[in-house]
């Protein structure tokens, strides 16, 4: 607390060191006239009240004048007392909070809580591109441990990441100001969509002293936006599919019927080569029929048969199909089941189709053989059951990963590109999520479905 004692004629009797320092005066200025320190109003107030200051300790908002003429707002308690020998009235101002210092405190508090913020990524860098401070959220997204990362040059921290993939590049120090820059970043486990701001920090003399980077994790927003776009596209495809499916299927059914008659006749006449042709034609017709069925799944399915489903039982049912496929590709299948999983509400057959599609993709990705691991996980905090389907294939390049859920996106010669689009639709309809994480080698698809709460 700072103290100023003055007489009613304005002469300072005493001023505390702290007050003199804060107002920019030295020791030699101790015998100042109160008028040079105080707002005119306060002296007028004091004079007008001489003899009738009833409330000792009256709280006032006043202004103090600094040695450079600047004025600062403070709160003070005004006391008065009588000096016994002289009978003069002395006034004492007990200045509780100097606004300037409280502002500095406020700023410090702000920057502290900013850097401690749980949902904002903050990095403070010095002029040597070393990390001065980092928020917990930034540590999590960037996969850093705060204690180990502090004081390290960013080049060292991200030495393993090629320059063009780095979230923060040295060019930041060259004054490249970044505003609302949307970037994708994948740490060891998760892919994040970030909105990033970065700028330089200068001292009062205009010298560059460091830089800051602030980012917000907008993964949910971006995926929501993508889901909306995707479901727009899907519903368009669905409408076309629903409209044309019957037009395609009806003629196919009659072609198939006549072909089967033809097949028998050709066999009866011993025309074996022609007989083989009809077999191929019938297979192809089945392929078209399957494609039309997948198309129809993309239009909002109307006859989903929702019922309580045991995910482990579902996976056990389809394991032989997956194993068959795996043997053909020299792949080993591992199944890590969770005991007694709660039930989910879904269409059992469609759910099986999702696990088969995603597993097939994994197996197809491992052209040289490998391991496909299916793991069940119970997430009690979020009330979800996750099924991770992990392959040891080459992974999905970052420029491809955004497109894999798009209908007709395929990198396979004989692929339709409908597999994941259909899976996505089925899982969304069951209130769940289908996510992918791939970091250059190996890919994990996570199929998450909310489970039934038993209260
Ligand atoms: N586990 C994986 N590893 C690497 N790439 C994958 C993996 N899963 C999917 N992909 C990529 O995603 C693309 C789209 O997959 P999707 O299942 O939708 O279609 P597809 O497998 O190409 O064809 P379809 O499933 O219709 O026969 C694939 O072509 C492939 O490039
Ligand atoms: Mg597929």
Last residue in a domain, options 101, 135, 164 = 101
Q: How far apart are CA 188 and CA 183, in angstroms?
A: 17
In a domain, 72, yes or no: yes
Q: Is the CB of 363 under 6 A from ligand 1?
A: no
Q: Are 254 and 210 found together in one domain?
A: no
Whose atoms come closest to the Cα of 396: which ligand?
A: 1
**How far, in Å, CA of 21 to CA of 19, rounded?**
5
State the average pLDDT over residues 181-199: 81
Query: Same domain for 251 and 283?
Result: yes
SS (H, E, C) the chain: CEEEEEECCCEEEEECHHHHHHCCCCHHHCCCEHHHHECHHHHHHHHHHCCCCCCCCEEEEEEEECCCCCEEEEEEEEEEEECCCCCCEEEEEEEEEEHHHHHHHHHHHHHHHHHHCCCCEEEEEECCCEEEEECHHHHHHHCCCHHHHCCCEHHHHCCCCCHHHCCCCHHHHHCCCEEEEEEEEECCCCEEEEEEEEEEEECCCCCEEEEEEEEEECHHHHHHHHHHHHHHHHHHHHHHHHHHHHHHHHHHHHHHHHHHHHHHHHHHCCCHHHHHHHHHHHHHHHHHHHHHHHHHHHCCCCCCCEEEECHHHHHHHHHHHHHHHHHHCCEEEEEECCCCCCCEEEEHHHHHHHHHHHHHHHHHHCCCCEEEEEEEEEECCCCEEEEEEEECCCCCCHHHHCCCCCCCCCCCCCCCCCHHHHHHHHHHHCCCEEEEEECCCCEEEEEEEEECCCC
* CA of residue 343 to ligand 1 center, whole Å: 29
* Of 242, 284, 279, residue with least CA distance to 260: 279
Atom of ligand 1 nearest to the CA of 414: 27
Residue 454 pLDDT class (50, 70, 90 cuts):
low
Give the residue, by CA position, lying nearest to ligand 1 atom 27: 415
- Is the minimum distance from the CB of 415 to ligand 1 under 6 angstroms? yes
Grade residue 82 by pLDDT with cuts at 50, 70 and 90.
confident
Q: Name beta bridge partners: 74.
A: 62, 98
Residue nearest to atom 22 of ligand 1 (CA): 410
Residue 432 near ligand 1, beta carbon < 6 Å? no
To test ligand 1's pocket by mutation, which of 415, 436, 441 has the most ligand atoms within 8 angstroms of CB? 415
- The verdict on the CB of residue 359 being under 6 Å from ligand 1 is no
Give the per-residue pLDDT at 337: 94
Residues 187 and 314 in one domain: no
Boundary residue ending a domain (73, 101, 129):
101
Q: Do the domain assignments include residue 222?
A: no
Give the burial class of 357: count Cβ atoms within 10 A of its Cβ; 0-12 exposed, 13-18 middle, 19 or more buried.
Answer: buried
The Cα–Cα gap between 78 and 455 comes to: 63
Given a contact cutoff of 8 angstroms between Cβ atoms, the answer to whether 410 and 416 are in contact is yes
Within this chain, do residues 74 and 131 fall inside the same structural domain, yes or no?
no
- Residue nearest to ligand 1 atom 17, measured at CA: 419
Contacts of 419 (CB under 8 A, 6+ apart): 357, 358, 360, 361
With a 6 Å cutoff on the Cβ, whether 409 touches ligand 1 is yes
Does ligand 1 have an atom closer than 6 angstroms to the CB of 358? no
Same domain, 276 and 361: no
Which of 410, 439, 440, 441 has most ligand 1 atoms within 8 Å of its beta carbon, as the pocket-test mutant?
410
* CATH number, residue 78: 3.30.450.20
Could you tell me if residue 361 is inside a domain? Answer: yes
Is residue 231 assigned to a domain? no
Q: What is the pTM of this model?
A: 0.52
Residue 325's CATH number:
3.30.565.10
**Lowest-confidence pick of 47-61, 218-232, 338-352, 436-450:** 47-61
Residue 108 in domain: no
| CA–centroid distance, residue 400 to ligand 2 (Å) | 14
Quick one: 129 and 95 in the same domain? no
pLDDT of 99: 54
pLDDT tens across 415-428, in order?
Answer: 888 899 889 888 98
Ligand nearest to the CA of 360: 2
Q: Is the CB of 417 under 6 A from ligand 1?
A: yes
Of 336, 317, 351, the C-alpha closest to 444 is 336
Rounded distance between C-alpha atoms, residue 15 and residue 6, angstroms: 9
Instruction: Please give the distance, rounded to the nearest whole angstrom, from the Cα atom of residue 368 to the centre of ligand 1.
Output: 16
Nearest ligand, measured from the Cα of 420: 1
Do 285 and 333 fall within a single domain? no
Using the mean position of ligand 2's atoms as its centre, give its distance from the Cα of residue 415 in Å. 7
**Shared domain check, 133 and 51:** no
Considering the chain, what percentage of its residues have pLDDT values greater than 90? 27
CB 385 within 8 A of CB 370: no
Is the minimum distance from the CB of 79 to ligand 1 under 6 angstroms?
no
Number of domains in the chain: 4
404 lines ligand 1 (CB under 6 A): yes
Where in the sequence is the domain holding 249, given as residue range(s)? 239-298
Mean pLDDT of 221-249: 73
Q: Residue 427: is it exposed, middle or buried by C-beta count within 10 angstroms (0-12/13-18/19+)? A: buried
Closest-lying ligand to the alpha carbon of 424?
A: 1
Q: In testing the pocket of ligand 1, which one of 295, 402, 419 has its CB within 8 Å of the most ligand atoms?
A: 419
Same-domain check for residues 32 and 135: no
For residue 232, being part of any structural domain is answered with no
Per-residue pLDDT of 29-47, as tens digits, reads 777 777 777 777 777 777 6
Is 247 exposed, middle or buried (CB count within 10 Å of its CB: 0-12, 13-18, 19+)? exposed
Does 455 reside within a domain?
no
What is the rounded distance in angstroms from the CA atom of residue 232 to the CA atom of residue 212? 39
Q: How confident is the model over 175-180, as a mean pLDDT?
A: 78
- 337/293 same-domain check: no
Domain-terminating residue out of 40, 68, 101: 101
Same domain, 46 and 138: no
pLDDT bin (cut points 50, 70, 90) of residue 299 is low
Ligand 1, closest atom to CA 422? 18
In this prediction, residue 338 carries a pLDDT of: 92
Q: Kindly give the pairing relationship between strand 370-379 and strand 331-336.
A: parallel
With respect to residue 199, please indicate whether it lies within any of the assigned structural domains. yes
Antiparallel, parallel or unpaired: β 433-438 and 443-450: antiparallel
Co-location of 289 and 314 in the same domain: no
What integer pLDDT is reported at residue 52 of this predicted model? 47
């Amino acid at each position: 607390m700072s103290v100023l004692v003055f007489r009613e004629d304005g002469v300072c009797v005493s001023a505390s060191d702290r007050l003199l320092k804060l107002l920019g005066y030295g020791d030699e200025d101790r015998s100042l006239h109160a008028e040079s320190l105080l707002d005119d109003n306060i002296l007028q107030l004091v004079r007008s009240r001489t003899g009738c200051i009833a409330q000792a300790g009256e709280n006032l908002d006043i202004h103090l004048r600094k040695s450079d003429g600047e004025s600062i707002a403070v709160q003070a308690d005004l006391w008065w007392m009588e000096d016994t020998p002289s009978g003069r009235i002395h006034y004492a101002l007990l200045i509780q909070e100097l606004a300037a210092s409280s502002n500095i405190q406020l700023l410090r508090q702000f920057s502290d809580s900013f850097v401690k913020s749980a949902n904002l990524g903050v990095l403070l860098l010095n002029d040597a591109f070393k990390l001065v401070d980092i928020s917990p959220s930034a540590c999590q997204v960037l996969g850093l441990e705060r204690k180990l990362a502090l004081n390290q040059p960013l080049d060292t921290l991200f030495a393993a990441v090629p320059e063009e993939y780095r979230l923060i590049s040295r060019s930041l120090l060259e004054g490249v100001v970044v505003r609302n820059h949307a970037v994708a970043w994948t740490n060891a486990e998760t892919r994040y969509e970030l909105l990033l701001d970065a700028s330089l920090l200068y001292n009062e003399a205009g010298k560059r002293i460091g830089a800051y980077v602030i980012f917000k994790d907008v993964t949910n927003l971006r995926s929501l936006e993508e889901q909306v776009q995707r479901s727009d596209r899907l519903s368009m495809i669905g409408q076309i599919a629903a409209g044309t499916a019957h037009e395609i299927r009806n003629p196919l059914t009659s072609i198939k019927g006549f072909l089967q008659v033809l097949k028998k006749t050709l066999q009866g006449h011993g025309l074996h080569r022609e007989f083989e042709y009809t077999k191929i034609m019938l297979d192809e017709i089945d392929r078209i029929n399957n494609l039309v069925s997948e198309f129809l799944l993309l239009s909002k399915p109307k006859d989903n048969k929702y019922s309580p489903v045991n995910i482990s039982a579902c996976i056990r049912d389809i394991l032989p199909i997956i194993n068959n496929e795996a043997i053909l590709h020299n792949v080993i299948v591992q199944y890590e089941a969770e005991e007694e999983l709660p039930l989910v509400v879904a269409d059992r057959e469609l759910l099986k189709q999702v696990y088969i599609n995603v597993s097939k993709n994994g197996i197809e990705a491992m052209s040289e053989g490998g391991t496909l691991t299916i793991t069940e996980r119970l997430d009690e905090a979020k009330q979800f059951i996750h099924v991770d389907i992990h392959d040891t294939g080459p992974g999905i390049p970052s420029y491809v990963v955004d497109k894999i859920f798009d209908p007709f996106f395929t990198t396979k010669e004989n692929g339709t590109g409908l597999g994941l689009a259909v899976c996505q639709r089925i899982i969304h309809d069951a209130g769940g999520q289908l996510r992918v994480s791939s970091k250059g080698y190996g890919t994990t698809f996570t199929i998450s479905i909310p489970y039934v709460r038993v209260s």
